[in-house]
Amino acid sequence: DTFYITSDILLRTHTSPIQARTMDAHDFTKGPLKMISPGRVYRRDTDDATHSHQFHQIEGLVIDENIAMSDLKGTLDTLVKKMFGAERKIRLRPSYFPFTEPSVEADISCFKCGGKGCNVCKMTGWIEVL
């Protein structure tokens, strides 16, 4: 699922390398690490209504003591309301990704039908955003 430009050069498939460089450069004696890494990524996907070979990804990373999944949910809820409107609700679904633990996917309530079900949300009331 990777786009190679040459045998040695490829287009990035995710924004995770930014996390490694940031962790390496961070001075943890000065406090916790909190970062967001948005960016354009490329994957060898077949384009359809819900997939594209080029899309934007956003990752967040927090390294601190005494943080929990509820902190992530609160952060994502704030992000969703700022980006998609205060009336949007968020739903987190447990998921498996080999590079993160725990892992979730995030859906927002449909902007067209308000969660009742329509052609935009495939009659579920939800649209996957993360």
User: Do 42 and 3 meet the contact criterion of CB atoms below 8 Å apart?
Assistant: yes
In tens, the pLDDT along 34-91 reads 888 888 988 887 887 777 888 888 887 888 988 888 888 888 888 889 988 999 999 9
Neighbouring-strand partners of residue 60:
36
Q: pTM higher than 0.85, yes or no?
A: no
Mean pLDDT for 4-9 is 88
DSSP state of 65: S
List the chain domain ranges.
1-66, 68-130
